[in-house]
Chain A
Amino acid sequence: MASEEKGPRPLGDLERLVMEQLWAAPAALTVREVHERLAGTRELAYTTVMTVLDRLAKKKLTERERDGKAWRYRAAAPREELAADLMRDALDRAGDRREALVRFVGQVSDEEAALLREALSRLNEQEPTG
Chain B
Amino acid sequence: MITPVLLAILALVLTGPAPALLARSDWPYRVPRAAVILWQAIALAAVLAALGAGVALSYSIAGRPGEPRFDPSSARDLVAAAILAMVALVVVRLLWAIGRVAVGTRARRKRHRDLVDVLATPDGLIPGLRVLAEETPLAYCLPALRGARVVVSVGALERLDDSELKAVLAHEQAHLRARHDLVLEEFTALHHAFPRWVRSDVALEQARTLVELLADDDARRRNGAGPLARALVALAGSPAPEAAMAAAKSATVLRVQRLAGPAPNEARLSAVTYAAAAALLILPTITIAAPIVRAMVDALS
Binding site for B on A (CB under 8 A): 2-6, 9, 12-13, 15-16, 19, 56, 59, 61, 79, 82-83, 85-87, 89-91, 93-94, 96-97, 99-109, 112-113, 115-117, 119-120, 122-124, 126-127, 130
Tell whether A96 pairs with B104 under 8 Å between CB atoms, given A3-B146, A120-B230: yes
Residue B34 interfacial (CB < 8 Å)? no
Chain B 209-253 residues near chain A, CB threshold 8 A = 211, 224-226, 229-233, 235-238, 240, 242-243, 245-247, 249-250, 252-253
The 6 listed contacts between A and B (C-beta, < 8 Å) are: A83-B119, A86-B112, A100-B108, A112-B236, A123-B260, A127-B226
Say yes or no: A101 contacts B246, CB within 8 Å. Answer: no
- B residues near A104, Cβ cutoff 8 Å: 139-140, 168, 171-172, 231-232, 235
Q: B191-221, CB under 8 A of A: which get 1 and which 0?
A: 0000000000000000000010000000000
- B residues near A106, Cβ cutoff 8 Å: 236, 246, 250, 252
- B residues near A122, Cβ cutoff 8 Å: 260
From residue A3, how far is it (CB to closest CB) to chain B in Å?
A: 6
From residue A50, how far is it (CB to closest CB) to chain B in Å?
A: 17
Given A87-B134, A90-B112, A116-B256, output 16 extra A-B contacts at Cβ < 8 Å: A59-B114, A86-B116, A87-B136, A96-B108, A99-B184, A100-B142, A101-B112, A103-B139, A107-B236, A112-B236, A115-B253, A119-B259, A120-B229, A120-B260, A123-B256, A123-B260
- B residues near A108, Cβ cutoff 8 Å: 236-237, 243, 246, 250, 252-253
Count chain A CB atoms within 10 A of each CB in B114, B171, B178 and give the residue with the most. Answer: B114
From residue B272, how far is it (CB to closest CB) to chain A in Å?
A: 28
Say yes or no: A61 contacts B118, CB within 8 Å. Answer: yes
Cα(A109)–Cα(B245), bound, Å: 10
Give the segment of B14-22, B35-43, B80-88, B121-129 that binds chain A.
B121-129
Say yes or no: B253 contacts A119, CB within 8 Å. Answer: yes
Majority secondary structure, A binding face: helix
- A residues near B211, Cβ cutoff 8 Å: 102
Count chain B CB atoms within 10 A of each CB in A56, A86, A113 and give the residue with the most. Answer: A86
- A residues near B231, Cβ cutoff 8 Å: 104
Say yes or no: A119 contacts B148, CB within 8 Å. Answer: no
Question: Residue A119 contacts which of B142, B151, B188, B256 (CB distance < 8 angstroms)?
Answer: B256
Question: Residue A83 contacts which of B104, B134, B147, B255 (CB distance < 8 angstroms)?
Answer: B134
From residue A53, how far is it (CB to closest CB) to chain B in Å?
A: 12
Residue B285 interfacial (CB < 8 Å)? no
Count chain B CB atoms within 10 A of each CB in A61, A93, A123, A130 and give the residue with the most. Answer: A123
Cα(A16)–Cα(B123), bound, Å: 14
Residue B77 interfacial (CB < 8 Å)? no
- B residues near A101, Cβ cutoff 8 Å: 109, 112, 140-143, 151
- A residues near B233, Cβ cutoff 8 Å: 113, 116-117, 120
From residue B295, how far is it (CB to closest CB) to chain A in Å?
A: 42
- B residues near A15, Cβ cutoff 8 Å: 117-118
Residue B62 interfacial (CB < 8 Å)? no
- B residues near A99, Cβ cutoff 8 Å: 101, 105, 181, 184-185, 188
Residue B138 interfacial (CB < 8 Å)? yes
From residue A4, how far is it (CB to closest CB) to chain B in Å?
A: 4
